[in-house]
Amino acid sequence: MRQPETLRERLAVVRERIARAAESVGRKPEEVSLIAVTKTVAPERILEAYEAGQRVFGESRVQEAAPKIAGLPSDIEWHFIGKLQSNKVRKAAGLFRVIHTLESSSQLKEFEKLAAPVDSLIEVNLAHESQKSGVLPESLDEFWQLASQCKGVRVRGLMTIGPNLGDPEAMRPFFRELRRLGDRFGCEWLSMGMSADFDVAIQEGATHVRVGSALFGERPG
């Protein structure tokens, strides 16, 4: 079977995977938002995905994203999915529709200064990985309360970046745990799953999947 070569073909394959995963557990494919991750991807390639019908894109560096956002079609929905430094909150809030990486009181202090709230998700470090950001599960109650009281954010749900285990099935317990936490807090959105494992994430309740390499190929950094 011929491997998909063009970006349009790869996008079709990813969308088909989303549909199969959703339907396998009785969900509708349209319940899942595909975020095309464009870190280090040139604007020309992003435009190619746009012309193939993709409208939601994710960036993880405010400085890299700003010129791309300014130069690309205005109907793109941009999501911030990287580590958000407190001193970049105001800039990010002006660029992105959704912030996926809320995790600290210092961020909240900056969001508090905004004129209007930003749709946001709290990042949860489910595996207690010291090298990764995110609120630890045992601290989530307290942080949820703080974030919910912040007038600069509208908390829509939870996000996680699971450990790199090399086996999609090994990720299922982490996705299932985020879903459990999401149910507990009455979350609308769960952002989980990337190129290698988003099928499993969807089966466990993901509403947003972040897909980069399956669309644009492996990239540095």
Cα 216–chain centre separation: 16
pLDDT at 162: 85
| Radius of gyration of the chain, Cα coordinates, nearest whole angstrom | 17
pLDDT at 39: 95
pLDDT at 172: 97
Domain ranges of the chain: 7-216
pLDDT at 166: 85
pLDDT at 218: 82
Task: Enumerate residues 6+ apart whose C-beta is below 8 A from 123.
Answer: 100, 101, 102, 103, 133, 134, 135, 158, 159, 160, 161
pLDDT at 111: 98
The region of weakest confidence among 2-6, 81-85, 215-219 is 2-6
Does the structure show a pLDDT above 80 at 1?
A: no
Note the pLDDT tens digit of each residue in 140-158: 999 999 999 999 999 999 9
Does the structure show a pLDDT above 60 at 221?
A: no
**Mean pLDDT, all residues of the chain:** 96
pLDDT at 202: 98
Note the pLDDT tens digit of each residue in 163-175: 888 899 999 999 9
- Per-residue pLDDT band for 220 (boundaries 50, 70, 90) equals low
Q: Span 53-81, mean pLDDT? A: 98
Note the pLDDT tens digit of each residue in 111-139: 999 999 999 999 999 999 988 899 999 99
The CATH H-level (homologous superfamily) assignment of domain 7-216 is: Alanine racemase (3.20.20.10)
CB 21 within 8 A of CB 198: yes
Among residues 199, 194, 193, 192, the alpha carbon closest in space to that of 212 is found at 194
Cα separation, 58 vs 96, in Å, equals 9
